[in-house]
Structures are given as C-alpha cells and as structure tokens.
Amino acid sequence: MIENMQEYIRNVREMVSQRLDLTRNVSDEQIREAVTEIVAEESGRRYMSLGEKRAVMEGVFNSMRGLDVLQPLVDDPSITEIMINGPDRIFVEKAGRLHQIGISFGSNEKLENVILNIVSKVNRTVNEASPIVDARLTDGSRVNVVLPPIALDGPTVTIRKFPEDPMTMEKLIAYQSLTPEAAEVLKRMVRAKYNIFISGGTGSGKTTFLNALSNYIPKDERIITIEDSAELQIKGIGNLVRMETRNANVEGKGEVTIRDLIRASLRMRPERIIVGEVRGAEALDMLQAMNTGHDGSLSTGHSNSTKDMLSRLETMVVSGNNIPLEAIRQQIASALDVIVQLSRLRDKSRRTVEISEVVGYRQGEIQLNPLYRFVEQGEEADGRIIGGLERTENPMVHLEKFRMAGLSDKV
C-alpha cells in the first residue's frame, strides 16, 4: 500500500523525466507508455492494488501534461467552480455549496507551473509585472489568476467550469430558473431581433443564460461574438465568427480590447453582435452598434437590479467618453429593448427575477416597464425557495418588432 501518494507520484515523474528527453517534442502517448512501464516495474518491487496503479499513472500524466492535482476536479461534472487560495487550500462548489478538498500542490512553485501551463495555451502571460490575468481551459472553462505580491497567501486561481452540453431553455425550465411562458416570450423576442441585455450578480448564471438564449437565433444568420475569454458555446450557427481580446505583451504593445473588436465587427457584415460582458467604455460602442441597424444583439453585465444596470451602463459610458449624461441616457433608451435580471437566491438557486421592457426616455429618466417579476411563495422543508416568474399587469409597449418578424405579439 502506498502511504504518501503525492510523494510517490513525484518520484515516478522523476523517473519518467530521466527516461524521456523532455526537451524534445514528446507526445502524450509516449509519456503514458513510459509511465505504464515504470509502474509495472515498480509493482514488481512492492505491492500496488489496481486502484493505486491507476491513481499513480493518472497522477503522473496529469502533473506533466494536465493540471496536476486539479485534473480530477476539472473532470468531475458535479463540480461547478474550483477556488485555489495558495498551494494548500483548495475549495470546490458542488450543488451551490462550498467544500474544502484535502489535496495540495505542495509548493507555490508547483502551483505556478500549472498556472503557466494554463495561460500559455491561450497566448496569455502572467508574472510579477502583470500579476492578474483571465484565461480559459481547453473545454472553455473560465480561469482567473492573481499572483503574489498582489495575492498575499500565494497564487490564487478561480476556475468557473461550464458543462460539456450547452445550457438550453428546457434545462432552465427544469431547474425552475424560468417559467415555460416566459421562455416562450424570450424565444420570440430573440427571433424578432429585440436587443436583450442580461444582468445579474457574480455567479447568477449570466453567461449560461446567454448561451441558452442563443439557441433561438435563426441558423442562417451571421453572428459575431466578442469576449474577454471565450466562454460562449453557440451551436448550430454555420456563419459564426468568434473573437477574443488580447493582453499587451511585455513591452506594453499589441493589446486588443473589446472596444477594438466591437469596432472591427461592424466592418464584418454582422447580423447580430454578441458581447460576452461589458465592463467599461466599450459600452458606448455596443450601444451605438445596437442603434445603427444591428438589432438582435445580446450582452451581459454585473448589477443587482434592472435600474442598477442602467446606472452602471451610464457610468461605463461616462468613464471613457466626454458625452452629456442626457445624451447617454437617450442612447441607452433607444438601444436596449429588454433587460433580463438574474439573481442567486439565499437557497443558492439561480433564478430569473425580472424581465423588463425599456420603453423610452422621459423627463430625464429611462423608463422601465416590468413584464415579469419573481414572486416568492414560501420555502420547502430543505430550505429551497418556492416561487417563480409571474406576469405583471403592464402591457408591453413596443410590439413592432414582433409584427415585422411575422410573429405573435402576445406577451
């Protein structure tokens, strides 16, 4: 029986390194073969169960080509988020709850090697001079890295995983995040090219919801997606262009921002532009795109309510542009058609809590018309909140796009 599995894996890895010339281009298959041979030789010297042999072989390979001790967590479909606070404190989120995992990288150096492996695969750099970076794994999972001296207790890594199968409205309905009636209305809004903005707090499911909405885009349209780190999983669209920002190099040159990509996308004959998330001055470019014939655009942003989202958009535009506030509000009011507000409730469930129509600009304020609101009806014995979206009494004002698309305007 192996008493210290991680130390044994390190020893076997050293043997593999001695047997193979890792300075050359060694394939994954060659590494697996070398590991298998060494484990077979070692098992002749000491007894190893079948489970231990498998753990050693996977552990060695993951430490050399995968994500080391993280790989089993990344491969576990029940884990939705991985949080690494230094080499010895690793937490995961399962079913909305946080748990600490009893595994360790052993040293900051080993954790930093995994970080460099992740960011180099997407042409990003992270070091003391540039200690914060966003990246992604090969499966599309989002990665955020913060290095010392900014992170005081060692390298910090947060991995937001995404399911292999893209989210659908049917799944959201099954999770009670949305009602069938509201989903049907949103489906027609997407097809009729309403400009829809999805807002919510951190971890409320904005990107997941955007993925689900994108399933309703007609398959014959040309779509441009723009993101900091590519996360969207849009399927079935043949004429799809995916673009991702680029950080500046060590000399401070070569940066490509979301703002640059939005401007470039306007020269690519898009029928819809999807901006993964707006955080700053690029909000103006997105709003101008929506106002210049690119209807049906979708985007997301952080906020606690629909009104808060409008205020945040104002702040984003003001921060990078010298435009009067009244002009900004008029721009927002004419660009956005619908805001969908998501929230993570106290029972950790992710729900759609409001769908509001942006009806216009009057008396210095952007006017919102709530169409659906989440109504709480109580709690189950296990603490899960009972409730759902309910239609308000407010009629929808702007029905023209439904009619122009030949769709029912019943909302």
Q: What is the pLDDT along the chain (411 residues), one digit of tens a residue?
A: 666 777 777 777 778 777 776 556 667 777 788 888 888 888 777 778 888 888 888 877 776 666 778 888 888 888 989 999 999 999 999 877 899 998 888 888 888 888 888 888 787 888 888 899 888 887 778 899 999 999 998 999 999 887 777 788 999 999 889 999 999 999 999 999 999 999 999 888 898 899 999 989 999 999 999 998 788 888 889 999 999 988 777 677 888 999 999 999 999 999 999 998 998 888 998 998 888 878 999 999 999 999 999 999 999 998 877 889 999 999 999 999 999 999 999 888 899 999 999 999 998 899 999 999 999 988 888 888 988 899 999 999 999 999 999 999 998
Note the pLDDT of residue 194: 97
Closest alpha carbon to 340 in 374, 366, 292, 311: 374
Q: Which residues does 265 contact at the CB level (< 8 Å), separation at least 6?
A: 224, 226, 241, 243, 273, 289
- For residue 389, give the 3-state DSSP assignment: strand
For domain 169-404, say whether CATH 3.40.50.300 is its number. yes
Note the pLDDT of residue 203: 84
For residues 49 and 12, give the distance between their C-alpha atoms in angstroms, rounded to a whole number. Answer: 16
- For residue 237, give the 3-state DSSP assignment: coil
For domain 70-163, say whether CATH 3.30.450.90 is its number. yes
- For Cα atoms 344, 349, 355, give the angle at the middle one, nearest 5 degrees: 60
Where along the chain do its domains lie?
A: 1-65, 70-163, 169-404
Peptide bond connecting 72 to the previous residue in cis, omega within 30 degrees of 0: no
For residues 167 and 172, give the distance between their C-alpha atoms in angstroms, rounded to a whole number. Answer: 8
Closest alpha carbon to 236 in 254, 224, 250, 218: 218
Closest alpha carbon to 280 in 248, 255, 257: 257
For residues 121 and 136, give the distance between their C-alpha atoms in angstroms, rounded to a whole number. Answer: 9
Q: Cβ distance 224 to 270 under 8 Å? A: yes
